[in-house]
Amino acid sequence: KDPVDALYEFLAAEIPLESRHNDLGKRILTLVSITPGFKWATTHGIPLMLNQPKYAITICKDTSSGVDNWEVRVGWCSFFVGDVKPNIQAGDYRVYMVSENLNTNRPVQREWTYLDFRAERTTETTMAAFAEEQAHIAAGGGVSTPRYERKKVTRGAF
């Protein structure tokens, strides 16, 4: 199945049409690529050796106003190293990114997305557990709260 078609089918199954911004799929597809991570790395002088990259799409339903408002964010995390060496599987540092809510109206002139990045030293050797933890945090802590009903956490690229 074509990954783009799979994403649009996924969105159609998860978020009612009247609650989806018409550019939502395009906004997600832009971020589930290596581009944001490489741009961050080159901007900060980090070697382009990003290991074990993981992506997450989080969907939460905010019901606090009495109206269903769907929040959709893309997250990404990866290891990186200060000194590139052969056969490195992890790294001394990890970086993660989370997008702003992609399911919102923006001023017509704004064609970019706000991204928050965080980098930190780590001794972890696999990104899978960290990616899972971050996806749950982005989805309202992974549990229903008075403000957010956790809808779905999807890992991996489509």
The structure's pTM equals 0.77
Among residues 49, 140, 58, the alpha carbon closest in space to that of 95 is found at 49
pLDDT at residue 122 in the model:
87
pLDDT at residue 65 in the model:
75
pLDDT at residue 28 in the model:
92
Q: How confident is the model at residue 136 (pLDDT cuts 50, 70, 90)?
A: low
Helix %, strand %, coil % for the chain, to 5? 25, 30, 45
Percent of the chain beyond pLDDT 90? 6
CA 13-15-20 angle, 5° bins:
130
pLDDT of 101 > 80? The answer is yes
Answer whether 138's CB lies under 8 Å from 98's CB.
Answer: yes
Q: How confident is the model at residue 24 (pLDDT cuts 50, 70, 90)?
A: very high
pLDDT tens digits along 51-98:
888 888 888 887 777 777 888 998 888 888 877 788 888 888 888 888
Average pLDDT over residues 115-121: 87
pLDDT of 142 > 50? The answer is no
pLDDT of 137 > 70? The answer is no
Q: How confident is the model at residue 139 (pLDDT cuts 50, 70, 90)?
A: low
Average pLDDT over residues 121-148: 62
